[in-house]
Amino acid sequence: MAVISGDDIFSHVMIGCNDVATSAKFYDPVLGALGIRNLGPFGDWILYGRDKPAFLLTKPGNGQAPSSNGVTIGFAAATTAEVDAFYKAGLNNGGTDEGAAGPRSHLPGAYAAYLRDPGGNKICAYTFTE
């Protein structure tokens, strides 16, 4: 397992969900399109990453409903094809559209797609073209 380096900004991102199994059915193909894999369960959590757990799903520990109003989690994509695959996988696995895959005018060369997962969390995939 990789260790956290001085270049990392975060050790991980954790989001709450109502149903871990339903969320895993969504995130397995969506993040898989970006080369991010399900590293397996850890207690009540599901861990995702490439070489270390970096994105975690679980029911909130305080027993209250999960909430992510105003939060978007962005995943890095290597190519526009990965962004397209992320978006398609999301729509095919219970996600809803929050912005179709395509160029974004706010940053030069930006190409992104936005989704809501089955629990209402907003996620996106981004890459940059020349």
Spell out the domain ranges in the chain: 13-60+71-128
Q: Given 3.10.180.10, 1.10.3720.10, 3.40.50.720, 1.10.1200.10, which CATH number is that of 13-60+71-128?
A: 3.10.180.10
Question: Which residues partner with 52 through β-bridges?
Answer: none
Instruction: Please tell me the predicted confidence (pLDDT) of residue 68.
Output: 73
pLDDT digits (tens, 9 = 90+) for 7-65: 666 778 989 888 999 999 999 999 999 999 999 888 888 999 998 889 999 888 788 88
Instruction: Give the H/E segment covering residue 116.
Output: strand 110-116
Across 112-127, average pLDDT: 94
Joined together, the tokens standing for residue 105 give 């005018």
